[in-house]
């Protein structure tokens, strides 16, 4: 059965905000072809998750914005001798679930299967073919491209999506992070099937792969599985490093008129990267400012005190380079100025004075006391191990996370926010009616 409901806040924060984990050890090794493998044995449920991640995200699109996403969308439309129907039949007849997706930094293929030997064998054989022998047939390409273009048109119905696109552009200018993963109508229209094959050949290579295995599978079979998956991939040249992000030269504000009853507001600038020296002060500080789901300064000032919005939050999205820091809210059109003023003042007060000791303690208690919730499912574990593997974080990253949170002082937070969240460079996007 489905669940039809509306939540007080929206449940996304429930699983998306997690950052930490103290749990069973992650095993790590490298295959002969240079792929990095990360493995966690969780035998309590008879299922296995496998994910193969590549440095093949939208930051690798070049001028062909959307090519990474379109490549990803084509994997299960044809592989080896199998067409889309055959692939689907093979996965679904054993209850396996295949998915593929891209972010700015990476692209991945995922498989969830029962660990039953016969079923897992069918699922993995199919996954292997989809990963290493995709056919990128002309007819499949044209159809998926058409569907993607329809999705891009659909995107134009959403003031929130329009705001995010303008925001990324304002923050990143000409940097590869500046465009949305799925590209634009004109850039996707220009992509040819040969571009897909070329993108795949250049990026989906063994020495550019990270394999993550979580579930009911012993270490030896996991080693064989990882080895076998990457052995069918070619090796090649890893792409150049994603260039450094340069901060915007000055603050700017842009309004896009849209026939909606609410104005979508985004305020921010390039924030922090995955190995940022200010990672923890910014993480803890943001939890107090606007990261905590029902308890934060922005939530209190914008929603609880003034009823200006349903959701009001701030977040860092750390990436290989500085991912966005974004304050977001939606409010009735005629309240936009007032809401922006509240955001401005809340942020300025936070930067000028830092957090209060009691707030800092409460935030740490929340993060550390709820530590176990962050990876209480295989699904969440898979996400964290993938992050650790792709960004080459230390294997004890999660084990040391709580102590790093505990060590943050109010002065650290204030200093980091003052240095990094520069009001003189802040980018503001508003999309909505007058």
Partner 1 sequence: MNQISKILPIALSVLASPAIGAAEDGATVHEHVLGNGLKLLVKEDHRSPVVVSQVWYKVGSTYEPGGITGISHMLEHMMFKGTKNYPAGEFSRIVAENGGQENAFTGTDYTAYFQTLEKSRLEISFKLEADRMRYLDLKAEELEKEREVVTEERRMRTDDRPRAKMQEHFNAVAFTNSPYQNPIIGWPSDIAHYTIADLNDWYQRWYAPNNATLVVVGDIDTRQVVELAEKYFAPLTPSQITPVKPQSEVDQLGTRKLTVKAPAKLPYVLMGYKAPALTTPGAEADVYALEVLAGILDGGNGARLTSRLIRGQEIAVSAGASYDMGSRLPYLFMLEATPSQGKSVFDLEYALKHEVQTLQSELVDDNELNRVKAQVVAHDVYQKDSNFFQAMELGLLETIGVGWKKSEDYVARIRQVTAEQVRDVARKYLIDDHLTVAYLDPQPIPTTATPRKSSGGRHAF
What residues between 279 and 318 interact with partner 1 by CB under 8 A?
A: 292-295, 300, 303-311
| 260 interacts with partner 1 by CB under 8 A | yes
Task: Provide CB contacts within 8 A for 12, sequence distance 6+.
Answer: none
Residues 362-381 that bind partner 1 (CB under 8 A): 362, 365-373, 375-379
Name which of 158, 154, 432, 166 is nearest 324 in CA terms: 166
Q: How far is the CB of 112 from partner 1 (least distance, A)?
A: 6
Residue position matching structure tokens 């200093």: 415
| 262 interacts with partner 1 by CB under 8 A | yes
| 424 interacts with partner 1 by CB under 8 A | yes
Choice between 156 and 396, CB closer to partner 1: 156
User: Judged by CB under 8 A, which stretch of 27-35, 85-93, 103-111, 200-208 contacts partner 1?
Assistant: 85-93
Q: Please select the residue that binds partner 1; options are 92, 186, 201, 396, rule is CB under 8 A.
A: 92
| 327 interacts with partner 1 by CB under 8 A | no
Name which of 141, 100, 128, 324 is nearest 232 in CA terms: 128
Compute the C-alpha angle 67/315/429, nearest 5°: 70
Choice between 36 and 364, CB closer to partner 1: 364
Residues 99-118 that bind partner 1 (CB under 8 A): 112-114
Angle in degrees, 0-180, between the axes of helices 397-406 and 378-390, rounded to the nearest 10: 90
Q: How far is the CB of 429 from partner 1 (least distance, A)?
A: 10
Q: How far is the CB of 235 from partner 1 (least distance, A)?
A: 30
> How far is 283 from 406, CA to CA, in rounded Å?
12
Q: Are 188 and 148 in contact (CB under 8 A)?
A: yes
Residues 122-161 that bind partner 1 (CB under 8 A): 143, 146-147, 149-151, 153-154, 156-159
| 174 interacts with partner 1 by CB under 8 A | no
Q: Please select the residue that binds partner 1; options are 29, 251, 393, 395, rule is CB under 8 A.
A: 251
> How far is 285 from 275, CA to CA, in rounded Å?
17
Q: Please select the residue that binds partner 1; options are 27, 223, 332, 415, rule is CB under 8 A.
A: 332
Q: How far is the CB of 311 from partner 1 (least distance, A)?
A: 8
CB-facing half-sphere around the CA of 191: CA atoms within 13 A: 33
Choice between 227 and 311, CB closer to partner 1: 311
Q: Please select the residue that binds partner 1; options are 28, 41, 80, 88, rule is CB under 8 A.
A: 88
* Torsional class of 57: left (φ above 0), alpha (ψ -120 to 50), beta (otherwise): beta
Choice between 202 and 366, CB closer to partner 1: 366
Residues 191-250 that bind partner 1 (CB under 8 A): 250
Choice between 171 and 293, CB closer to partner 1: 293
Full DSSP string of 289-307: IIISSS-SHHIIIIIITT-
Compute the C-alpha angle 383/384/388, nearest 5°: 120
Beta pairing class for 47-54 and 107-114: antiparallel
Burial environment of residue 254 by CB neighbours within 10 A (0 to 12, 13 to 18, 19 or more): middle
Q: Please select the residue that binds partner 1; options are 27, 223, 415, 422, rule is CB under 8 A.
A: 422
């Amino acid at each position: 059965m489905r669940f039809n409901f509306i939540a007080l806040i929206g449940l996304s924060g429930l699983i998306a905000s997690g950052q930490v984990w103290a749990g069973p050890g992650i095993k790590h090794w490298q295959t002969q072809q240079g792929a990095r493998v990360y493995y966690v044995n969780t035998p309590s449920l008879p299922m296995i998750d496998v994910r193969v991640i590549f440095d093949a995200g939208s930051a690798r699109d070049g001028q062909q914005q959307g090519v990474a996403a379109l490549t990803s969308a084509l994997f299960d439309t044809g592989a080896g001798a199998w067409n889309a129907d055959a692939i689907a039949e093979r996965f679904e007849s054993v209850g396996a679930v295949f998915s593929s997706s891209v972010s700015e930094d990476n692209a991945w293929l995922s498989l969830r299967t029962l660990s039953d030997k016969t079923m897992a064998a069918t699922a993995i054989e199919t996954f292997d073919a989809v990963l290493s022998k995709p056919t990128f047939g002309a007819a499949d390409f044209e159809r998926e491209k058409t569907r993607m273009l329809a999705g891009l048109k659909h995107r134009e119905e959403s003031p929130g999506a329009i705001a995010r696109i303008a925001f990324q552009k304002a923050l990143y200018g000409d940097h590869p992070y500046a465009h949305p993963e799925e590209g634009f109508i004109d850039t996707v229209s220009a992509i040819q099937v040969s571009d897909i094959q070329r993108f795949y050949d250049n990026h989906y290579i063994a020495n550019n792969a990270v394999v993550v295995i979580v579930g009911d599978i012993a270490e030896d079979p996991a080693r064989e599985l990882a080895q076998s998956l990457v052995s069918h991939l070619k090796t090649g040249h890893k792409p150049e490093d994603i260039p450094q992000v340069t901060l915007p030269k000055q603050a700017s504000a842009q309004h896009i008129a849209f026939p909606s009853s609410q104005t979508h507001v985004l305020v921010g600038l390039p924030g922090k990267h995955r190995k940022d020296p200010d990672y923890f002060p910014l993480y803890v500080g943001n939890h107090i400012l606007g990261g905590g789901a029902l308890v934060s300064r922005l939530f209190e000032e914008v929603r609880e005190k003034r009823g200006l919005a349903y959701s009001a939050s701030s977040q860092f999205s750390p990436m290989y380079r500085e991912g966005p820091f974004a304050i977001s809210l939606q409010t009735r059109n005629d309240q936009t100025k007032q809401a922006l003023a509240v955001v401005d003042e809340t942020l300025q007060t936070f930067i000028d004075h830092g957090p209060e000791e009691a707030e800092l303690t409460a935030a740490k208690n929340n993060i550390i006391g709820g530590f176990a919730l962050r990876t209480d499912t295989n699904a969440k574990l898979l996400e964290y191990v993938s992050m650790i593997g792709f960004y080459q974080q230390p294997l004890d990253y999660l084990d040391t996370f709580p102590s790093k949170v505990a060590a943050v002082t109010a002065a650290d937070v204030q200093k980091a926010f003052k240095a990094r969240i520069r009001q003189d460079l802040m980018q503001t996007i508003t999309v909505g009616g007058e």
